[in-house]
Amino acid sequence: MTLRKIWSTILCMATLGLAGCAGEPPSGLGLTDGRLAPCPDSPNCVSSQAESGYASMEPIPLTLPAEEAQAVFVATLQGMERMEIVSVMPGYIHAEATSGIFGFVDDVEIAIDEAEGVIDYRSASRMGYGDMNANRERMVEILGKYEEAVSAQAVAP
């Protein structure tokens, strides 16, 4: 464990009683020239736009019209515990996921690129150095629920 991570954890735990460990929303969220913010060098972020390394995950193909895909993601996120949607714009969703014990807040972003036919995403911790794989597991869960909903729509008469 690095000294930076230890101090971050201590500071966060010390302020837990006052305001939790939400931290301030980072600058740079959203889309810039069609891209999500890059992940930092720390292992507490995953992104389908990261080219390699710990942060890298695969984008998923867009198999529905963009508006329908976005509606499925909104419903998926609304159905998850400790998940709050912050903003929804055409082709973009920003949500905050709060951990159950310490109240750590992670930013979850979904970007639907109709022109490229892909759905990109990013999940990043606001505080600390590592995340004990929480962001990767969260995105696997969100993408799994999305795929289940899309499959159910395809089967429905």
What pLDDT sits at residue 24? Answer: 81
Total-model pTM: 0.84
Cα 73–chain centre separation: 12
| Domain range annotation of the chain | 3-155
The tens digit of pLDDT for each residue in 41-71 reads 999 999 999 998 999 999 999 999 999 999 9
Which residue stretches of the chain have pLDDT < 50? 11-12, 15-18
What pLDDT sits at residue 3? Answer: 62
CATH class belonging to 3-155:
alpha beta
Extended beta strands in 21-151, E state:
45-47, 60-61, 83-89, 92-98, 105-113, 118-125
What pLDDT sits at residue 111? Answer: 98
What pLDDT sits at residue 104? Answer: 93
What pLDDT sits at residue 5? Answer: 55
What pLDDT sits at residue 50? Answer: 96
Q: How far apart are CA 20 and CA 102, in angstroms?
A: 7
Q: How far apart are CA 93 and CA 110, in angstroms?
A: 5
What pLDDT sits at residue 10? Answer: 56
What pLDDT sits at residue 153? Answer: 83
What pLDDT sits at residue 15? Answer: 47
45-52 long-range contacts, CB within 8 A, separation 24+:
45/122, 45/123, 45/124, 45/125, 45/131, 45/135, 46/122, 46/123, 46/124, 46/135, 46/136, 46/139, 47/120, 47/121, 47/122, 47/123, 47/124, 48/118, 48/119, 48/120, 48/121, 48/122, 49/120, 49/122
Nearest one of 151, 134, 62 to 98, comparing CA atoms: 134
Q: Is the dihedral of CA 137, 116, 30, 48 positive or negative?
A: positive
